């Protein structure tokens, strides 16, 4: 969700009733977490490339990623405002999903040497990085399909398809919060 002026409204409403703002955060995270788990469930449990499945390095595929939702009113790096953010990660020691999801998203040149890794042994390996990134991206694209020219081979498109539901749940939570805030203001006025 990208509403305008949310950071300012949030600051003003904090003074009204901190407990109801916390309830809004909890309600929004709770209602949208179900959709985030649905989105994570669209990721195949098997690695898109066979070499990602069977090794002991940090880039191994961990199956379905972990999803998290956070209430983050204010500006975003892309310029604009947001109210919620969803994060999907392969988890500790299994970031193959993270690499595959973000393949090709960076404009800066990659490293010339790989990080240390091992394949079914305790001997660590490193290799020269030449065109592996391009080959990695095209191999995933061949197996999974491209996503409208943007980054995100797995959860990006799934999240875009559920945007309407996410926004609807967010609006419902905000409406409930506004009713609570209005009641709190009414009670405060009546107590004077």
pLDDT in tens, 166-181: 988 888 888 888 887 7
Mean pLDDT of the chain: 78
In this structure, are residues 27 and 122 in contact, taking their beta carbons and an 8 Å threshold?
no
CA proximity to 105, closest of 137, 128, 60: 137
Torsion, Cα of 7, 101, 96, 143 (10° steps): 160
pLDDT at residue number 76 = 65
In this structure, are residues 6 and 73 in contact, taking their beta carbons and an 8 Å threshold?
yes
Q: Give the span between the Cα atoms of 161 and 30, in whole angstroms.
A: 20
Which residues lie across from 117 on neighbouring strands? 125
Higher pLDDT pick, 32 / 56: 32
Work out the pLDDT band at 151, boundaries 50, 70, 90: low
Work out the pLDDT band at 28, boundaries 50, 70, 90: confident
Q: How far does the chain reach from its first CA to its final CA, in angstroms?
A: 37
Q: Give the span between the Cα atoms of 117 and 149, in whole angstroms.
A: 30
pLDDT at residue number 118 = 80
Q: Tell whether the model's pLDDT for residue 20 goes beyond 80.
A: no
Per residue in 104-145, pLDDT tens? 666 666 677 878 888 777 788 888 877 667 777 888 888 776
pLDDT at residue number 67 = 93
Return the HEC string of 77-140: CCCCEEEEEEEEECCCCCCHHHHHHCCCCCCCCCCCECCCECCCCCCCECCECCCHHHHHHHHH
**pTM for this predicted structure:** 0.71
pLDDT at residue number 8 = 63
Residue 187 structure tokens: 């009670």
pLDDT at residue number 83 = 76
Q: Give the span between the Cα atoms of 127 and 149, in whole angstroms.
A: 29
Most confident range (mean pLDDT) of 9-18, 28-37, 93-102, 167-176 is 28-37
pLDDT at residue number 2 = 56
pLDDT at residue number 84 = 82
Work out the pLDDT band at 187, boundaries 50, 70, 90: confident
Q: Give the span between the Cα atoms of 58 and 79, in whole angstroms.
A: 32
pLDDT at residue number 36 = 94
Q: Give the span between the Cα atoms of 86 and 31, in whole angstroms.
A: 12
Which of the residue ranges 69-73, 136-140, 188-192 would you say has the lowest mean pLDDT? 188-192
């Amino acid at each position: 969700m990208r509403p305008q002026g949310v950071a300012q409204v949030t600051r003003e409403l904090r003074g009204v009733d901190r407990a109801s703002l916390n309830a809004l955060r909890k309600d929004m995270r709770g209602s949208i977490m179900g959709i985030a788990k649905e989105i994570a469930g669209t990721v195949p449990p098997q690695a898109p490339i066979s070499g990602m499945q069977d090794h002991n390095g940090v880039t191994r595929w961990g199956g379905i990623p972990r999803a998290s939702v956070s209430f983050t009113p204010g500006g975003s790096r892309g310029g604009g405002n947001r109210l919620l953010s969803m994060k999907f990660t392969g988890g500790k020691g299994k970031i193959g999903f993270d690499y595959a999801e973000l393949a090709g998203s960076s404009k800066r040149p990659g490293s010339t040497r790989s990080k240390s890794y091992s394949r079914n042994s305790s001997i660590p390996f490193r290799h020269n990085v030449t065109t592996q990134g391009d080959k990695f991206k095209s191999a995933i694209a061949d197996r999974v399909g491209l996503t409208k020219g943007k980054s995100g081979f797995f959860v990006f498109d799934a999240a875009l398809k559920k945007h309407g539901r996410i926004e609807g749940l967010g609006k419902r939570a905000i409406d409930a919060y506004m009713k609570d805030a209005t009641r709190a203001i009414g009670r405060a006025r009546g107590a004077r």
